[in-house]
Amino acid sequence: MPNEKLMTNAINASELSFNDFKSIVKSDYKIAFESRQASVLGRREVLTGKAKFGIFGDGKEVPQIAMAKAFKNGDWRSGYYRDQTFAFATGISTIKEFFAQLYANPTNGADPFSGGRQMNCHFATKSVNEDGSWNDLTQIKNCSSDISPTGGQMARLVGLAYASKLFRENRELDYLKHFSVNGNEVAFGTIGNASTSEGVFFEAINAAGVLQIPMAISIWDDAYGISVPAKYQTTKEDISEVLKGFQREPEKPGYEIYKVKGWDYPALCEVYEKAINVCRDEHVPVLIHVTELTQPQGHSTSGSHERYKSKDRLTWETEHDCIVKMRAWMLDSAVATEEEIAEIEKEAKIFVRNAQKEAWNEFLDSIKPEQKQAIDLISGVAKHQPELAKIAANLASVADAQRREVFVAVRKAIRMSANTSSAERDELLAWYKEQEGHNYDRYNSKLHTDGKESPAKIAVVDAEYDELSKMVDGREVLNACFNENFARDQRLVAFGEDLGNIGDVNQGFAGLQAKYGELRITDTGIREMTIMGQGIGLAMRGLKPIAEIQYLDYLIFALNVLSDDLASLAYRTKGIQKAPVIVRTRGHRLEGIWHSGSPISMLLGSLRGMHLCVPRNMTQAAGMYNTLFRADEPAVVIECLNGYRLKEKLPINVGDFTVSLGKAEVLEEGTDITVVSYGSSLRIVQEAAEELALLGISVEIIDPQTLLPFDINHVCVNSLSKTNKLLVVDEDVPGGASAYILQKVLEEQKGYFHLDGQPKTLSAKAHRPPFGSDGDYFSKPSVDDVIEAIYQMMHDANPTKYPALF
């Protein structure tokens, strides 16, 4: 049957008879040949229009089989889109599932990796059950969800491997039986030779060398990056030569580096067995540079490699194709006869073709009932409006209709029958509304995990105070919060620049490394991308990481990792994987171009799928952390840089009280104007409101507390229905987060209908703030700016009562 999984087995020459050995090798050749046929047929399916785009692992089959032999239950893969043979050889994917993903089939179970949301060769295994609870990750071969950026998998790989170190060395984690067996798991990474030119590769290589973690990185080297040869990609045209300085020596920890030809089956099996044993047993990183590989079909279905490779190179690739070379070795070694190999190849072609046909037919069959229903319903409406019959007939004439064509026809029929009232049209509308729900589930659901530990399901606990509650620096509130939670939950770990020994630059973690140890509270180098990746990998393996970025401006260095990988994880896997990373940073008001940024609109546009928390003080930040520590979805928390030494009252339940994410708060009630702001700007608005009160203006101040999600209870529009005037005060650039807030309040909450004047925004200038207090005053909203902006709005509404200031 096309669903058959044919997995490879390890080769132990001391225990196998020659017949057993031959059987394993022939089985491996069968997997390799089937994978090649899947590539060939997959490319054809794209070029004939059945699929939109294809990218394949042809030319990499034999080394991936060797790698799969060393891959055990509990291990993790973080690779890229050339690893289909590995997926077949480990049983992570069947060939039928491979084609279902190529066709983007969203039917439950067809593409178990992404629910039809990612193109082919983007694999993932099920870490999370339907209710959001964890699977037993020690009993499966784990594959973290692939992303298309060719080096993007490297950041997360560091975290996946680092988790094994924590599980091995921190005995307090022994109770997490479903996540690790004494930290013996290896994190396997793969990358193409050209992508080793990327910064995230070097950052990850260095981080793993420093951390000394069981990370095994394989480099598939076919000497090109699309059309660009290695001489333009890599110094010396050889990445393992470049990395020789990472080779470990006595008393100098580093890597074990191996180099092997990608067409040499026995050498590959030997190298992978040896390298992974070293990695697993000694807990050190290893690098396997697999050279002399080919890419017979070129980079992807978008072009042909004959355009840029010389005739000599093409001839060499034909001769050194790994499957051709393995075939020749099998004949020379008497592993198989010509007739046996020919029979394997014949059966493989039939098997792959049947798997492809079955996947295609199942894809079409999932749509045909909807197509028939749509035709019947449109035809029913056509009884009253004959011109709709043509729409139904055109849809019926499409033999292989996809869902888009069905709903284009339905929506056109609905539009064209807008002036027709009939039971048949009502039936069509009801069907369309029902299908909207199904299509939302197919194509739009699971932006968040939405499981039983969703932040929305965490009980709200108010902060409590008594007569002994004292006023302390804001940083002390955070410190007490972190201390309580680290004592409560052994899964919590924190890491970042200057976080450990000195307790972070603002002392939120002061003294906690000494109390909880270096494994749980750790300094890192300056490497923002892999700090984020460290968090993602740890969170995917069941831990609760706090990944610290020292200043909000520096988050830009890691935005690719957060946006491409973390923010999209639940969505692109349709909820079968999660990574509840808490990204801790600080920003807003300070002084200078590099430490006072508020690039919120950049985060809003990049991090859908994460929560974006913008607490106004450290007590609110602590409440958000308490919520997130108990939840299972990722978030960024931006603490106010100028709030660490401001006095706040310390709650007696500092480790337990929670703030509900997405619920706005009215800080001060008023009747004349609604002002929405967040973070440090709220203090400026509150100060301005005091002077405005003396001028007879009553300001209602709203703190949304989080921007993702934003004011889910519609506090803003309720306020606007009373005041009829709206000002948004924001430290981002003009048209930045303020535009987002306006869209939410005016469009989504329908606040537009309550306005009696033009809504206004007061933002920072279009440039970053210059250094010094004067620079801050003249480039970001000040108390004077807020007073005058609100006064002007009141003047516009009632110039007699509020005469012009200027």
Reported for 361-365, long-range contacts at CB under 8 A and 24+ positions apart, including other chains, are 362/100, 362/105, 362/107, 362/110, 363/100, 363/103, 363/105, 363/107, 363/110, 364/400
Bridge partners of 612, per DSSP, are: 636, 708
Question: Would you say 95 and 355 are in contact if contact means Cβ atoms under 8 Å apart?
Answer: yes
The DSSP call for residue 746 is I
**Tokens at residue 463, please?**
């902060």
Cα 385 to Cα 390: distance, rounded to the nearest angstrom: 11
Report the Cα 376 to chain-centroid distance in Å: 41
Cα 57 to Cα 121: distance, rounded to the nearest angstrom: 8
Q: What does 271-306 look like in DSSP terms, one character per residue?
A: HHHHHHHHHHHH---EEEEEES---TT-SSTT--GG
Three-state DSSP class for residue 99: helix
User: Is 384 designated active site?
Assistant: no
Helices (H), 115-242: 153-169, 199-211, 239-242
Q: What share of the chain is helix, strand, coil (3-state, %, to 5)?
A: 45, 10, 40
Cα 57 to Cα 282: distance, rounded to the nearest angstrom: 31
Residue among 635, 613, 600 nearest 739 (CA): 600
Instruction: Kindly provide the residue ranges of all beta strands, DSSP E only, lying in 79-182, ordered along the sequence.
Output: 142-143
The H-or-E segment that residue 98 falls in is helix 95-102
Question: Would you say 778 and 767 are in contact if contact means Cβ atoms under 8 Å apart?
Answer: no
Residue indicated by tokens 């890419």: 295
Phi, psi of 95 (to 5 degrees): -70, -35
Close Cβ partners of 324 (under 8 Å, ≥ 6 residues apart): 263, 318
* Pairing state between β 706-708 and 611-613: antiparallel
CA distances from 6 to 1, 18, 85 (A): 11, 21, 11
Max distance between CA atoms of the chain, in angstroms, equals 102
Q: Cβ of 777: how many Cβ atoms within 10 Å?
A: 14
The DSSP call for residue 216 is E
Cα 501 to Cα 384: distance, rounded to the nearest angstrom: 78
Report the Cα 437 to chain-centroid distance in Å: 25
Helices (H), 695-772: 715-723, 737-742
Reported for 341-347, long-range contacts at CB under 8 A and 24+ positions apart, including other chains, are 341/29, 344/26, 344/29, 344/30, 344/33, 345/33, 347/30
Bridge partners of 635, per DSSP, are: 582, 611
CA distances from 403 to 42, 120, 380, 396, 644 (A): 21, 19, 20, 13, 54
CA distances from 576 to 311, 313, 451, 457, 771 (A): 46, 43, 11, 19, 47
From the candidates 595, 611, 714, 754, which is the catalytic residue?
Answer: 595
Q: Exposed, middle or buried: residue 701 (CB in 10 Å: 0-12, 13-18, 19+)? A: buried
**Tokens at residue 404, please?**
């888009």
Residue indicated by tokens 């729900």: 437
Close Cβ partners of 360 (under 8 Å, ≥ 6 residues apart): 45, 50, 99, 103
- Residues marked as catalytic: 595
